[in-house]
Structure 1
Amino acid sequence: MKKAVLGVAAVFTAMLLAACGDKTVATLNGGKITQDQYYSSLKNSDSGKQVLSTMIINDALQDQYGKKVSDKSVNKQFNDLKKQYGDQFKTQLAQSGQTESGLKESIKTQKLLEVAVKDNTKISQKQLDTQFKAYQPKVTVRYILLKNDDSGKKNADTVIKDLEKSKDVKADFIKLAKKYSQDASTANKGGLYTPFDNTDTNTDAAFKAAAFKLNNGEFTKTAVHSDQFGYFVLYMDNKGEKPAKITPAIKKTLEDQIMSTNMNDQTKISEVIAKVLKKAKVSIKDKDMSNILDTYMNPSKAQAATGAEGATTATTGN
């Protein structure tokens, strides 16, 4: 997204320049290309339409929610990212075609959208109850990763048998992790894994499901298989206690989790943007670009147009 924002800004600048008149943009042996010609071509391209759509949305978000996003919050997230990447920060920026000011603008846009989604979302008690069923406070586990083959399964069974005979499971698990684990990044740490909760999307699904079933001091009695990674043996180091009912503090956490899910739901995002645009009373003056917001304001029309384009492509073979 960050790289796309910069690209959008660059194209939009070109469109503004091109709209200035009949001045020459380039000359060649066969003649010249005027700014009007350039603009006419650009505005009919997908990138030209996308850039205007993006700028309209950003301006509408800024107008309606700009006061709710402070420069302080933007700078904090920017500095957090800078700290996270350390010496590699500038390299990461360069590789993504980004600048520091561009990154800050991207962060601000994201925050504006988050505020808009929150403002246009009413969370019901039913949603809270459903989220609470899936809720699991952060857990800290240790794991031993074995190869994704018969030898890995055999070694996993051996590890489990050793743990079943152990009088100090945690100490022996740490030793076995250093001996058997195929993950060099955690083996020397006794298999210690970064704490995670039910919203974590980076942890293997089978790994998460098995971990949440364990209580403190317990280990998996059968090997946990992941098609992507191999066989795991898990040990619960510290399991956050889930309350029996929804408390005010837990309610806030559940609402944040639901909002996080909404921010990854493109349908929900489109619905919110449509409300923002409707309130902004947008009017497209250039008739050639009058349909650029149909994705949000008239989705059925946009979908029909996309389907027609696909049918034409399939028929012509272009």
Structure 2
Amino acid sequence: MSKKWLVGIAGLMLSVTLVACGGKSVATTNGGKITQDEYYSSMKETSQGKQTLQQMILNKVLEKQYGDKVESSEVNAQLNKYKSQYGSQFKTVLQSQGMTEKSLKEQLRSNLLLKQAVIANTDFSDKELKKQFKDYQPKVTVNQITTSSKDKAEKVIKELDNGKKFTDLAKKYSTDSSTKNKGGRIDKFDNTNSSLDSKFKSAAFKLKNGEYTKKPVKTQSGYQVIQMVNHPDKGNYKQHTNELKEQMADSKMNDSSSLQKVVKKVLKKGDVDIQDNDLKNVLADYLK
């Protein structure tokens, strides 16, 4: 998100009358002070100011209606995923987006609250749940070894066939520096994971506990050998209703039409009263 200083000629020539305006000062200059009232009046006329108010209103009503359904641990877990993904570049990425760790956590919580609103305001039929269940996979735990060539991956598989330990081979052969010293262990994942190569997931889900891929899996990362550590029984769709609803809600979060319908319901239930006449229609696009 880029930020620009929009300072026109009129902004540089502060009128002396600004000094006489009421309200607490936001800033002072040798040409006068800028009060909270002035700043507010200026900001509310901008699209950014209106968007900020819309988000603040939505956050308030979401927190009231669904705050007890989102744990701080869930927010922290998502935050830690970003930290793990970007590593030492995490703060730099935040700065490039004009964000802080605090504002990112607030955004993550807002998204989780909105997701709960989607779940609560959506009727999931048995037909839809069954359809989602076809692609459903519970979270699995695997180890993996990444190599730069097919020959080297085949060598790893041959050594596994001869009884060598997967963890030892990961340390010896894997080019993935983030997992090789952990025996190739990666974070648990299910069918909704978007960070892993689809070929990797497909090969992994076919494995039973203790099994490893007998042929190298060609992915964007290289040639990989995968070992299944824990593959929970899939069971039937009724046993995973909550997970299925969560997955379907994630899809609806990317559908602007579905999302707007949910936001409309949430705002109406929130009994919102805009007290500034100039902003009476700030929610019009969401409530129409």
Q: Normalised by the size of structure 1, how large is the TM-score? A: 0.63
- The alignment covers a number of residue pairs equal to 255
TM-superposed deviation, 1:52: 1.8
Cα distance 1:82–1:54, how it changes in 2: closer, same or farther (>3 A)?
Answer: closer
> How many Å separate the matches in 1 of 2:182 and 2:29?
65
What residue in structure 1 maps to residue 228 of structure 2? 236
State the secondary structure of the residue aligned to 1:209.
Answer: helix
> How many Å separate the matches in 2 of 1:155 and 1:138?
29
Cα distance 1:46–1:83, how it changes in 2: closer, same or farther (>3 A)?
Answer: closer
Among 159, 169, 181, the residue aligned to 1:176: 169
What residue in structure 2 maps to residue 256 of structure 1? 246
Structure ranking higher in helix proportion: 1
Cα distance 1:56–1:251, how it changes in 2: closer, same or farther (>3 A)?
Answer: closer
State the secondary structure of the residue aligned to 1:185.
Answer: coil
What residue in structure 1 maps to residue 154 of structure 2? 157
Q: How does 1:76-87 map to 2 (within 5 A)?
A: none
TM-superposed deviation, 1:221: 3.3
What residue in structure 1 maps to residue 57 of structure 2? 56
State whether residues 75 and 104 of structure 1, in contact with CA within 8 Å, keep that contact through their aligned partners in structure 2. Answer: no
State the secondary structure of the residue aligned to 1:48.
Answer: helix
Please, which runs of 5 or more residues in structure 2 have no aligned partner? 1-19, 84-89
> How many Å separate the matches in 2 of 1:250 and 1:136?
10
What residue in structure 2 maps to residue 10 of structure 1? none
Name the amino acid aligned to 1:216: N
What residue in structure 1 maps to residue 216 of structure 2? 223
> How many Å separate the matches in 2 of 1:128 and 1:159?
40
State whether residues 177 and 188 of structure 1, in contact with CA within 8 Å, keep that contact through their aligned partners in structure 2. Answer: yes
What residue in structure 2 maps to residue 269 of structure 1? 259
* Aligned sequence identity (%): 42
Among 259, 273, 279, the residue aligned to 1:289: 279
Which of 182-191 and 43-52 deviates more? Answer: 182-191
Matched, 1:198 2:199: no
State whether residues 168 and 183 of structure 2, in contact with CA within 8 Å, keep that contact through their aligned partners in structure 1. Answer: yes
TM-superposed deviation, 1:103: 8.6
Cα distance 1:271–1:188, how it changes in 2: closer, same or farther (>3 A)?
Answer: same
Matched, 1:186 2:176: no
TM-superposed deviation, 1:32: 6.1
State whether residues 139 and 188 of structure 2, in contact with CA within 8 Å, keep that contact through their aligned partners in structure 1. Answer: yes
1:128-173 deviation digits (Å, cap 9, x = unpaired): 11121111123222211012xxxx233123333444xx243xx343
1:254-286 deviation digits (Å, cap 9, x = unpaired): 233333444565543332111222344545454
Cα RMSD between the aligned structures?
3.9
State the secondary structure of the residue aligned to 2:21.
Answer: coil
> How many Å separate the matches in 2 of 1:190 and 1:35?
57
State whether residues 69 and 111 of structure 1, in contact with CA within 8 Å, keep that contact through their aligned partners in structure 2. Answer: no
